[in-house]
Amino acid sequence: MSPRSTALFSLLPLSALVLAGCATGTEADADAGTESASTVVVEAENGDIEIAQTPQTVVVFDNAQLDILDALGVEIAGIPSAEVVPEIFADYAESDDVANVGSLFEPDFEAVAALDPDLIISGGRSAEATGELAEIAPTIDMSLDTSDLVGSISERTLAYGEIFDKADEAEALTTEFAERIEEVGAKVAEAGDGLVLMSSAGEISAYGPGSRYGFFYDALGLEPSIEIVNEEARHGEVLSFEALAEADPDWLYVIDRDNAIGEEGASPAEQVLDNDLVARTTAAEEDQILYLDSAELYLAGGIQAHLNVLDDIENALS
C-alpha cells in the first residue's frame, strides 16, 4: 500500500529520530580498490545496531512495525503467518512474493535463513526471539513504548525513513499523525467522558491512562469515567456491568478481542454489551458506543491503524 499522507512539513524535527548516527556515503578506496557501503546505527531495544542503509531483503516479525513500513511503501520479503489478517495487511496475505516465516511466537528460523535477509525487524510478541534471529542477520527490536505510544510510533516511523531512504515520506506521515491527533483530540475532549473497553469471552475489561490503550486518554484527552487501577494488565481491569452502569460513561470505545483473534463461537461485543445495565448508560442512550476495528487495533496498532481509528472517532463525533 502507498502512504496515505501528502503533507509537506513535519511537526516533529529530525532530532526526534531514535538514531545514534550514520556513516558517510559509499566512497571509493583508491588504494584498496574497494567500497564501503553506507550504514546507519539504530538505537533499538536490543542496543545500538549498525545496519546497511536501504536494506533490500527485509523480514518483519512485528505487526505494528509492518503497519508502519507498509505505510512508507517498504517492500517486505517475509512475515509470520496468522489466522486473522487485518485489512491493511490483506495484500501480504494474498501475495506469493511474501514468504511465510513462522509465527510471531515461533519463528521458522530455516525459512528466515533461506531468504538471506539484509535486515530482520522484531518487536512486541516476537521480542524474545531477537537474539536467535540476530544469529541469521542484523536484527533490530523496534517494540513500541505504550507509555508514550504517539512518540514511539513517530520515532519508529522517522527511523525507518532514514533506514530506507524515505525521510520525506516519513516526515509527511508523522506530520499527518500529529495533526490528526490534534484535530480529533479537540473534539474528543469536548464530547464528554468515556471508557475504552475490551470484550473477551463474554466479559468486559477497561483500560485507563498510561495503559496499552492509553492513547485515547493520553493523546486525545478522553476523560476517564472511572479510575482504572490495574493499568499494567495486558487485557485491562475486569469490569462488572453494574460498575459500568454506575460509571455512566458518555462514550464507550470498544475492542472485540474475540473477533480480532478469530475465536470460534465467541459472542460478538455488540451482543455482550446488549443488556439492561449497559442500556442505562448515557453512551447507550445517546448511541455513543463505537465498535472499533479490533483486528487493526489489537493485532497491528501501528500508524495506519491509529490514523484509521482517528477517522472512525471523528466520524462518530460528527
Q: Going from the N-terminus, what domains does the chain have, and what CATH number goes with each?
A: 14-22+35-176 (3.40.50.1980), 191-317 (3.40.50.1980)
In angstroms, the CA 146 to CA 213 distance is 8
Does residue 22 carry a pLDDT above 60? Answer: no
Confirm if 138 and 132 have CB atoms less than 8 A apart: no
Residue-wise pLDDT for 38-88, tens only, equals: 999 999 999 999 999 999 999 999 999 999 999 999 999 999 998 888 989
Residue 232 is predicted with a pLDDT of 57
Residue 233 is predicted with a pLDDT of 56
For residue 283, how many other CB atoms are within 10 A of its CB?
A: 28
Q: Which residue has the cell 509527511?
A: 172
Residue 30 is predicted with a pLDDT of 38
In angstroms, the CA 233 to CA 228 distance is 10
Residue 310 is predicted with a pLDDT of 98
Residue-wise pLDDT for 176-198, tens only, equals: 999 999 999 999 999 999 999 99
pLDDT level of residue 236 (50, 70, 90 thresholds): confident
**Could you give the percent of the chain with pLDDT greater than 90?**
77
Residue-wise pLDDT for 195-217, tens only, equals: 999 999 999 999 999 888 999 99
Does residue 306 carry a pLDDT above 80? Answer: yes
In angstroms, the CA 57 to CA 252 distance is 42
pLDDT level of residue 93 (50, 70, 90 thresholds): confident
Q: Which residues pair with 159 in a beta bridge?
A: none
Of 13 and 132, the structure prediction assigns the larger pLDDT to 132
Instruction: Please report the DSSP string for 236-287 in residue order.
Output: -EEE-HHHHHHH--SEEEEEEHHHHHT-TTPPPHHHHT-SHHHHTSHHHHTT
